[in-house]
Structure 1
């Protein structure tokens, strides 16, 4: 009985030791078996074999379909011999070990190990890491429980079907040392081969272990050719500063530019920051030394507050567009603090603007803007019920110009006035349902606006206070029906009556200069974007919507609405308060029509438009897209009537198309095109093709910008990028992986 118990103990110990060593040997972040932490490994281990016996008193032998299970790992071999005298293990293959999570597979012909499993030798070893990178060698030596040395090794992430056909790419080396603690691969006398042909030689090379998420080293380089910047290359280098911060340095050298691009990221306990920027010395005109910096961050503050900031700065107006960093032509930098709770919202923000557009002067534009907002709601548990909403708004903007009016062009919007506004409001809201299912909501409110204007000139008062009472009633009657075919229809007519008292004070309209009239504000008491202007008098709005939900996943929506006023809105400075293209300038607004159609196979169509009394389009936009497993296609159309009041002297009519199609298993094509119908010329166009499989990602793209101005010239850009999957990127989509022919 004692002899049998001893055999069982040896079997369990043998199985546990084998699995622990092999897991460490392939550097999957396992714990060295010699460390105390290994004692915490789950027990028991299981060893199964066709035959298990003692050879004398010193050797324990397991033969025939030997399988060891421990902590979810599975080791298979044909024979295992443990010699207690020499304290060694001999494992005869074929040997295979699979991790519990499937991230690693080890194959070998045979192995000899010491008792502590810190040193040993595997013959004909092959390791697959992260189901991606394969390491094959004649011998694999385990050294001091940390290093794995592979001799005459080949490394690739390509699918290897047989020994006769070389992989698409591979690294051949006299020796590869794998540091499992640092998760690094070191190559001696390495050759990079493409289809078996040596391309270049490196006496020393270091690459991160594929299981390492972040490691210092080179990222995917790219070749670029630009009609502005000439031919050049980008070679990004990633620097892991610590567990929570990193820096990416990208030298970009071309025939016309010397550029250094930077990106810094850091994660804190309560937030994150990211900074990107570049420094350039080029020969394309303007400044010879150019730079930009974009930064953003978010931090959680005490008492549920959130701090956000972003910085956007550049020292040349065309730098961002010329180098492809951004298409923004108006930069904004902002810092804000906000808190949102169930019955309360607080936000304060300070914003700085800078225009890069030709013809716009930053001295006469509001470049520094502050905003503050507070809203609190209270539920009334007594008559008349409903809820009370209290709000406070503050706004101020500053212009650096000292002129009251810009005499050069007499543009009332191009002066140096500075405006501050403070608003307090109180509103009562309540909703209920009338007998036939009519949803009714009512609102009564009072707002007080105070304005202070510096450098007001002759067209505005310096001080103004306005008291604005308001009231509204809204009725909705949703009607629902299910057809015999299983489709559900819902028709909902809506009617709103509202009244807003007071009058707009004689202060400049600096905030409500662009009005968007759509489904979102059709039933608002005022469609101005800020309290410096309000719709006054009696108003009504009506509309009806129809929605259909099909039994096959199809969904369609159609809505139409209009606003009717007691009288047209007149601005205190003269003329209509709304611009001609807003759709709201007359007593009867333009007719708002909107629709949407979706199917379960990826088709989506959305459109909306404003139409005047003669059913002539004022504004219109439409978007159609279709997506499936192979293709993504989309098109957008925009129409805007000319309106000098909105700095739009000509009509805008533009088409934009974008598409991506998977041509075959490994090839994907893409295209985009933007066309200006009004001027009958292209704005931008691009083509691209990408080849992707399990071990490589190759992209070639070309784009052309046709626009020109006093500071911009048309340009053409061509980019070529090659990424080796397994080290630089992962293959998550298994549909790209090649298969081996049987």
Structure 2
């Protein structure tokens, strides 16, 4: 006789047990707490029988259990209360809340659902991945072992579902250790189209529930002409949730091994990354115009990056980048920077106000023989304060205060400098009833210098020595524009003439004041309307001048546009010009600068910037960026022509062009390439690359060939071929490069 109270109690245990058992086996992360939490359960079954004597509850006939968004289906589920076993048979199906589906022919659980066995397991994940096993065991509540299993993220062929997938991993045994969050494979084979191409007796990797796990990382291998064949292997040590260490070793046939290490650590408000490498190898150095091969020596690099968020207003940081020599970073493909910067800083943010103090040191990695001595910045302190709009009494507008302290120290007894600078500013914007837009601003500044070991131009009384200098300067600048707009049916046209007038005193150019931060000055569309076109503090643009220009454009409602800008300036006095040759500002009339830019339906773009001589209108500088997308074909080009710039180390005319193209053959295949040519005094190809990509449903392939034609002493000359293979859900495997040949051409 079936007792009602026992029946309801047993059925509820059956429902919870049914859902829990499949959660335990199929999903490492969704263990249902049947013992501690009894969520509502929906049951559908054609028949429900309770054997009171044998304490057996049987649900049969299209059994469906639903709990917490998880669903279990089976032809029959039998729960033996006395033996504590649950058996599901016939078309067993479990659907997780995320849509993953698991199928089995038969499933059995016991020992309070801690142990279980499943026959004919098949799993289909929502991302398209699937795995299959002849049987699986759930042991101790935290370990799942599958026999004769395979895994693949590749979709099955629609015409032939039984055909072997593009790639899969087979193993005689797969163990999922939930306690240690790791998956172990024994006798694993990597197969392509059913053909084994790699075998590992054992390997393991973290499961999807953890992002970090100690172990060996994917190795890489390749060949380079100056290093020979090499193999690189790394070990990752997950020390704690907030810190880890990665160590590596690269073994080469033509060079000594190289050791690498990276330490990472985070605190509540700070982080630190320390990265470095060391080896014992030879290198090529430029000496008296010739490349000279140096003997083997210890070489390496060190990189440190740290940030400390002290509070919501203060932040401090540290950045260190040093290398043993000019070629090391490029030779081993660490970096291609020409100058390494080392910095220690502290900064403060407060509304519109900002302050920063820093110490800076530089390492020049350029291969020139006669390098300028890079100064150490000890220290640089900057502060900027900006008032609220309309805060200035009577005249309105907003005020600003900028102050800075700079100390430059050079080795070998060369020029050192200390500078204190303060600038007071005021600015106000006006819009008249007639549509004129005007901005009026004024600036007053003072600068103090103390210079040691001064080096100046010929004829200077203080070519070598110490000096104290001071300078006071100010200007008033007025900028006015009159934008005129005309609406059309599908576009808008704007014509905006503009003019600015700057009043500044005529001060003598004092060579006793060193020029450290204002050497590289050149007129362009961005600074032509500035009151002072010098980028730094050490030089100021004295004397009054007027600047005028025109901006016009046609702007379509769909996003297409075309725009033209022209501008130039005129100095009221001809003598005592502070600008150097090539700047475009060294004459009374400046060079003409302009920009032509446009975009059509975002498929065709053009950005052309130019500088024309003020008298002959001959080219002084051209920069062109253009691109076009025509169906599956994309083309782009970048062209530069620039004459030498006085006051800098750029004395020769530069001219180069870079063209690139890519073409999608179909939705999976793409080819691409680019080439950069030097068109100057020493013309020729400088760099070229060509590649092909394949992006499939479960695999991506890429091959890139690159040829760099530079001096051997740069460390990056040669031909390199790189391969990359991306396997869905397993990451990318790639060669670090195959480098063939080298030298100048």
Task: State TM-score, norm by structure 2.
Answer: 0.88
Indicate the residue corresponding to 1:494 in structure 2.
Answer: 498
CA contact (8 A) 1:158 1:695 kept: yes
Indicate the residue corresponding to 2:117 in structure 1.
Answer: 121
Higher RCO structure (Cα 8 Å, ≥6 apart):
1
Q: 1:126 and 1:470 mapped to 2: Cα distance?
A: 79
Pairing 1:295–2:300 present: no
Indicate the residue corresponding to 2:731 in structure 1.
Answer: 728
CA contact (8 A) 2:328 2:715 kept: no
Check 1:59–1:481 CA distance in 2 against 1; reply closer, same or farther (3 A cut): farther
Indicate the residue corresponding to 1:650 in structure 2.
Answer: 652
Q: 1:127 and 1:629 mapped to 2: Cα distance?
A: 40
Deviation (angstroms), 1:471: 0.9
Aligned pairs for 1:347-426 within 5 A: 347-359=356-368, 364-368=373-377, 370-379=379-388, 380=391, 382-402=393-413, 416-426=414-424
Aligned pairs for 1:178-327 within 5 A: 178-257=176-255, 258-283=257-282, 285-286=293-294, 287-327=296-336
CA contact (8 A) 1:354 1:362 kept: no
Check 1:453–1:565 CA distance in 2 against 1; reply closer, same or farther (3 A cut): same
Deviation (angstroms), 1:723: 4.0
Deviation (angstroms), 1:51: 4.0
Secondary structure of 2:387's counterpart equals strand
Secondary structure of 2:528's counterpart equals coil
Deviation (angstroms), 1:233: 3.3
Q: How many corresponding residue pairs? A: 705
Pairing 1:23–2:23 present: yes
Q: 2:10 and 2:492 mapped to 1: Cα distance?
A: 71
Q: 2:339 and 2:575 mapped to 1: Cα distance?
A: 31
Deviation (angstroms), 1:128: 4.5
Q: Deviation digits for residues 630-671 of structure 1, max 9, x if unmatched?
A: 565432111111245322232111112344444334333332
Q: Where do 5+ consecutive residues of structure 2 fail to align?
A: 284-292, 456-461, 734-745
Q: 2:538 and 2:125 mapped to 1: Cα distance?
A: 64
Q: Deviation digits for residues 692-737 of structure 1, max 9, x if unmatched?
A: 434433332221110116665731122233343323369xxxxxxx
Deviation (angstroms), 1:144: 0.7
Q: 1:143 and 1:425 mapped to 2: Cα distance?
A: 75
Pairing 1:680–2:683 present: yes
Q: 1:91 and 1:243 mapped to 2: Cα distance?
A: 41
Indicate the residue corresponding to 2:740 in structure 1.
Answer: none
Check 1:160–1:211 CA distance in 2 against 1; reply closer, same or farther (3 A cut): farther
Deviation (angstroms), 1:451: 0.9
CA contact (8 A) 1:449 1:467 kept: yes
Q: 1:729 and 1:231 mapped to 2: Cα distance?
A: 21
Q: 2:625 and 2:112 mapped to 1: Cα distance?
A: 67
CA contact (8 A) 1:152 1:173 kept: yes
Q: 2:600 and 2:64 mapped to 1: Cα distance?
A: 52
Deviation (angstroms), 1:141: 0.4
Q: Deviation digits for residues 577-618 of structure 1, max 9, x if unmatched?
A: 323222111111111111322244443322211111222121
Indicate the residue corresponding to 1:135 in structure 2.
Answer: 131
CA contact (8 A) 2:626 2:638 kept: yes
Q: 2:42 and 2:361 mapped to 1: Cα distance?
A: 68
Indicate the residue corresponding to 2:484 in structure 1.
Answer: 479
Pairing 1:561–2:561 present: no
Return 106-115 or 356-365, whichever deviates more: 356-365
Deviation (angstroms), 1:369: 5.1
Indicate the residue corresponding to 2:143 in structure 1.
Answer: 147
Check 1:704–1:729 CA distance in 2 against 1; reply closer, same or farther (3 A cut): closer
Secondary structure of 2:33's counterpart equals coil
89, 92, 98: which is aligned to 2:89? Answer: 92
Secondary structure of 1:159's counterpart equals coil
CA contact (8 A) 2:46 2:63 kept: yes
Deviation (angstroms), 1:11: 4.3
Pairing 1:44–2:40 present: yes
Q: 1:87 and 1:323 mapped to 2: Cα distance?
A: 63
Q: 1:263 and 1:378 mapped to 2: Cα distance?
A: 45
Deviation (angstroms), 1:27: 4.1
Aligned pairs for 1:3-22 within 5 A: 7=7, 10-22=10-22
CA contact (8 A) 1:663 1:669 kept: yes
Q: 1:422 and 1:643 mapped to 2: Cα distance?
A: 28
Deviation (angstroms), 1:362: 5.9
Secondary structure of 2:16's counterpart equals helix
Aligned pairs for 1:535-684 within 5 A: 535-568=541-574, 570=576, 577-613=578-614, 614-626=616-628, 633-643=635-645, 645-678=647-680, 679-684=682-687
Check 1:118–1:355 CA distance in 2 against 1; reply closer, same or farther (3 A cut): same
Check 1:26–1:496 CA distance in 2 against 1; reply closer, same or farther (3 A cut): same
Secondary structure of 2:544's counterpart equals strand
Pairing 1:158–2:154 present: yes
Check 1:72–1:522 CA distance in 2 against 1; reply closer, same or farther (3 A cut): farther
Q: Where do 5+ consecutive residues of structure 1 fail to align?
A: 403-415, 571-575, 731-742
Pairing 1:62–2:49 present: no
Q: 1:40 and 1:568 mapped to 2: Cα distance?
A: 89
Check 1:323–1:662 CA distance in 2 against 1; reply closer, same or farther (3 A cut): farther
CA contact (8 A) 2:581 2:646 kept: no
Check 1:555–1:454 CA distance in 2 against 1; reply closer, same or farther (3 A cut): same
CA contact (8 A) 1:147 1:179 kept: yes
Indicate the residue corresponding to 1:432 in structure 2.
Answer: 430
